[in-house]
Structure 1
Amino acid sequence: MATPKIRPLLYAMMSAFGVGLTFIALIMLSQAAQNSENFDQLANSILWVNILCLFVLMVLLVGNLFRLFRDYQQNIPGSRLKAKMVGMFVGLAIIPLLIVFYFSMQFINRGIDTWFNVEVETGLDDALTLSRNALAMQMRDHLSATEQIAQRLRETNSSQFIYEIGKLREEIGASEITLFGRNSRILATNSDLSVNNVPSRVSNEVMMQIRQNRPYVSLDPLSNDAYEIRTAVPLVAENMPDIIGIIRARFPVSQRIGRMVNSIDSSYTDYKRIVYLREPLKRTFSLTLTAVLMISLLASIFGAFVLSRRLVSPIQNLVEGTKAVAKGDFDMRLPVPGKDEIGFLINSFNEMTKGLSIARKQASLSQNLVEAERANLEIILASLSTGVISLESDLKIRTANKAAGSILNVDFSESRGELLSNLAKEHNVLNELFVVIKKYLDEGNMVWHEQIIVHSDTGRRILTCACSDLSNDTMENEGLVVVFDDITIQIQSQRDAAWGEVARRLAHEIKNPLTPIQLSAERVRRKYLNTMPKEDAEILDRSTHIIVEQVAALKEMVNAFSDYARSPDMEIVTINIAILLREIIDLYQEQESKINITFDIDSDDLKFDADPGRIRQIIHNLVRNSIEAIPEDIAGTISVNVKQCDINNIKMIEICIEDNGSGFDKNSLGQIFDPYVTSKSKGTGLGLAIVKKLVEEHMGFIEAENAKKQGAVIKIFMPENEKMREKMISSFKHKKDNGVHSL
Structure 2
Amino acid sequence: MDIAPVRRWRGYGFIAVAAILVISVLMLLARSVENSAQFSRWQLWILGANIAGVIVLAVLLARKLRQLVRDYRHHVPGSRLTARTVAMFGALVVVPLLVIYLFSLEFLNRGIDSWFRVEIKQGLDEAVVLSRSALDLRMREQARRTEALAASLREYSNAALAAALDAERRTAAARELIAFGPNGEVIAASVDARELLIDPQIPREMLMQVRGNRPYMGLEPLSDGGYLISTAAPIPDFGPETRRRFLVARQLLPRELADLANAVQHAYNNYGVLSYVREPLKYQFRLALTLVLLLAMLSAIYLAIRSAQLLTKPVHDLIQGTRAVGKGDFETRLPLPSRDEMGFLVQSFNDMTKRLRRASEEANRSRQLIELERERLAVILGGLSTGLLVVDTSLRLRIANEAADSILGTELASLIGVELGRVAEAPPRLAEFTSRLRARLTGEAREWQDEFELPPDRVLRVACAPLADAAGEAGYVVVFDDITSLLHAQRDAAWGEVARRLAHEIRNPLTPIQLAAERLGRRLAGKLSGEDAEILDRATRTIVQQVESMKGMVNAFSEYARAPDLKLARVDLNELVAEAVELYRAQESGAALAMQIDARLPPLLGDRGRMRQVLNNLIANGLEAVEGVPRGRVTVQTQMNSGPKGNTAVIMVTDNGHGFRQEMLARVFEPYVTSKPKGTGLGLAIVKKIAEEHGGSIEADNRPEGGAFVRVVLPLTALQEGAQPARDIA
TM above 0.5, yes or no, is yes
| Secondary structure of 1:479 counterpart | strand
**Letter in structure 2 aligned against 1:364:** N
Q: Distance in 2 between matches of 1:495 and 1:526?
A: 46
Q: Distance in 2 between matches of 1:703 and 1:333?
A: 74
The alignment status of 1:516 with 2:512, answered yes or no, reads yes
Specify whether residues 413 and 582 from structure 1 end up closer, same or farther in structure 2 by C-alpha distance, changes over 3 A only. same
Residue of structure 2 equivalent to 1:405: 405
Q: Distance in 2 between matches of 1:63 and 1:709?
A: 82
The alignment status of 1:331 with 2:336, answered yes or no, reads no
Residue of structure 1 equivalent to 2:696: 700
Q: Distance in 2 between matches of 1:683 and 1:64?
A: 99
Displacement, 1:316? Answer: 4.8
Specify whether residues 593 and 78 from structure 1 end up closer, same or farther in structure 2 by C-alpha distance, changes over 3 A only. same
**Letter in structure 2 aligned against 1:576:** D
Conservation of the 8 A alpha-carbon contact between 2:591 and 2:627: no
1:479 is aligned, of 475, 492, 496, to 475
Conservation of the 8 A alpha-carbon contact between 1:424 and 1:430: no
Q: Distance in 1 between matches of 2:587 and 2:368?
A: 77
Residue of structure 2 equivalent to 1:719: 715
Residue of structure 2 equivalent to 1:562: 558
Q: Distance in 2 between matches of 1:310 and 1:611?
A: 102
Q: Distance in 1 between matches of 2:306 and 2:496?
A: 93
The alignment status of 1:431 with 2:431, answered yes or no, reads yes
Displacement, 1:560? Answer: 0.7
The alignment status of 1:363 with 2:360, answered yes or no, reads no
| Secondary structure of 1:74 counterpart | coil
Specify whether residues 560 and 696 from structure 1 end up closer, same or farther in structure 2 by C-alpha distance, changes over 3 A only. same
Residue of structure 1 equivalent to 2:374: 374
**Letter in structure 1 aligned against 2:409:** N
| Secondary structure of 2:666 counterpart | helix
| Secondary structure of 2:654 counterpart | strand
Residue of structure 2 equivalent to 1:396: 396
2:459 is aligned, of 459, 462, 471, to 462
Specify whether residues 575 and 73 from structure 1 end up closer, same or farther in structure 2 by C-alpha distance, changes over 3 A only. closer
The alignment status of 1:581 with 2:577, answered yes or no, reads yes
Residue of structure 2 equivalent to 1:607: 603
Displacement, 1:667? Answer: 3.3
Cα shift readout 1:508-549 (whole Å, capped 9, x = no counterpart): 332233233223212322332353243323332332122112
**Letter in structure 1 aligned against 2:582:** D
The alignment status of 1:506 with 2:507, answered yes or no, reads no
Conservation of the 8 A alpha-carbon contact between 2:634 and 2:655: yes
Residue of structure 1 equivalent to 2:178: none
Q: Distance in 1 between matches of 2:66 and 2:630?
A: 84
**Letter in structure 2 aligned against 1:636:** G
Specify whether residues 6 and 604 from structure 1 end up closer, same or farther in structure 2 by C-alpha distance, changes over 3 A only. farther
Conservation of the 8 A alpha-carbon contact between 1:4 and 1:335: no
Conservation of the 8 A alpha-carbon contact between 1:332 and 1:353: yes
Q: Specify the structure having the higher radius of gyration (Cα).
A: 2
Specify whether residues 540 and 360 from structure 1 end up closer, same or farther in structure 2 by C-alpha distance, changes over 3 A only. same
**Letter in structure 2 aligned against 1:469:** P
Residue of structure 2 equivalent to 1:626: 622
Specify whether residues 310 and 631 from structure 1 end up closer, same or farther in structure 2 by C-alpha distance, changes over 3 A only. farther
**Letter in structure 2 aligned against 1:74:** H
The alignment status of 1:534 with 2:530, answered yes or no, reads yes
Q: Distance in 2 between matches of 1:641 and 1:447?
A: 53
Residue of structure 1 equivalent to 2:70: 69
Q: Distance in 1 between matches of 2:579 and 2:564?
A: 25
Q: Distance in 1 between matches of 2:72 and 2:617?
A: 90
The alignment status of 1:383 with 2:393, answered yes or no, reads no
Cα shift readout 1:277-300 (whole Å, capped 9, x = no counterpart): xxxxxxxxxxxxxxxxxxxxxxxx
Displacement, 1:3? Answer: 6.0
Specify whether residues 709 and 315 from structure 1 end up closer, same or farther in structure 2 by C-alpha distance, changes over 3 A only. farther
Q: Distance in 1 between matches of 2:7 and 2:581?
A: 89
Conservation of the 8 A alpha-carbon contact between 1:421 and 1:431: no
Displacement, 1:65? Answer: 5.6
| Residue range with higher mean Cα deviation, 355-364 or 373-382 | 373-382
Q: Distance in 2 between matches of 1:699 and 1:555?
A: 30
The alignment's TM-score, normalised by the length of structure 1, stands at 0.55
Q: Distance in 2 between matches of 1:531 and 1:395?
A: 86
**Letter in structure 2 aligned against 1:637:** R
In structure 1, stretches of 5+ residues that fail to align are 13-60, 88-302, 724-743
Cα shift readout 1:650-679 (whole Å, capped 9, x = no counterpart): 222222223222323333333222211222
| Secondary structure of 1:671 counterpart | coil
Specify whether residues 644 and 66 from structure 1 end up closer, same or farther in structure 2 by C-alpha distance, changes over 3 A only. farther
| Secondary structure of 1:481 counterpart | strand
Conservation of the 8 A alpha-carbon contact between 2:68 and 2:83: no
Give the count of matched residue pairs. 455
Q: Distance in 1 between matches of 2:349 and 2:434?
A: 56
Displacement, 1:697? Answer: 1.0
Displacement, 1:344? Answer: 4.5
Residue of structure 1 equivalent to 2:224: none
Q: Distance in 2 between matches of 1:367 and 1:415?
A: 26
| Secondary structure of 2:455 counterpart | strand
The alignment's TM-score, normalised by the length of structure 2, stands at 0.56
Residue of structure 2 equivalent to 1:453: 453
Residue of structure 2 equivalent to 1:691: 687
Residue of structure 1 equivalent to 2:654: 658
Q: Percent identity?
A: 41
1:49-448 alignment runs, 5 A limit: 68-74=69-75, 76-78=77-79, 312=309, 316-336=316-336, 344-423=344-423, 425-448=425-448
**Letter in structure 2 aligned against 1:418:** V
Q: Distance in 2 between matches of 1:616 and 1:68?
A: 95
Displacement, 1:698? Answer: 0.7
Cα shift readout 1:330-382 (whole Å, capped 9, x = no counterpart): 23334556656655544333322222222222223333333333333333322
**Letter in structure 1 aligned against 2:389:** I
Conservation of the 8 A alpha-carbon contact between 1:3 and 1:334: no
Q: Distance in 2 between matches of 1:563 and 1:333?
A: 89
Specify whether residues 532 and 632 from structure 1 end up closer, same or farther in structure 2 by C-alpha distance, changes over 3 A only. same
Specify whether residues 618 and 5 from structure 1 end up closer, same or farther in structure 2 by C-alpha distance, changes over 3 A only. farther
Q: Distance in 1 between matches of 2:63 and 2:631?
A: 80
In structure 2, stretches of 5+ residues that fail to align are 12-61, 91-297, 720-730
Specify whether residues 558 and 466 from structure 1 end up closer, same or farther in structure 2 by C-alpha distance, changes over 3 A only. same
Q: Distance in 2 between matches of 1:581 and 1:701?
A: 18
Q: Distance in 2 between matches of 1:306 and 1:518?
A: 126
| Secondary structure of 2:673 counterpart | coil
Conservation of the 8 A alpha-carbon contact between 2:639 and 2:649: yes
Cα shift readout 1:561-611 (whole Å, capped 9, x = no counterpart): 121122222222222222221222233344356433343344355322222
**Letter in structure 2 aligned against 1:417:** G
Conservation of the 8 A alpha-carbon contact between 2:652 and 2:712: yes
Conservation of the 8 A alpha-carbon contact between 1:72 and 1:80: no
Conservation of the 8 A alpha-carbon contact between 1:68 and 1:79: no
**Letter in structure 2 aligned against 1:359:** A
| Secondary structure of 1:444 counterpart | coil
Displacement, 1:411? Answer: 1.0
**Letter in structure 2 aligned against 1:354:** K
Specify whether residues 505 and 333 from structure 1 end up closer, same or farther in structure 2 by C-alpha distance, changes over 3 A only. same
Displacement, 1:389? Answer: 1.0
Q: Distance in 2 between matches of 1:718 and 1:8?
A: 80
Conservation of the 8 A alpha-carbon contact between 2:397 and 2:416: yes
Specify whether residues 611 and 8 from structure 1 end up closer, same or farther in structure 2 by C-alpha distance, changes over 3 A only. farther
Q: Distance in 2 between matches of 1:491 and 1:705?
A: 22
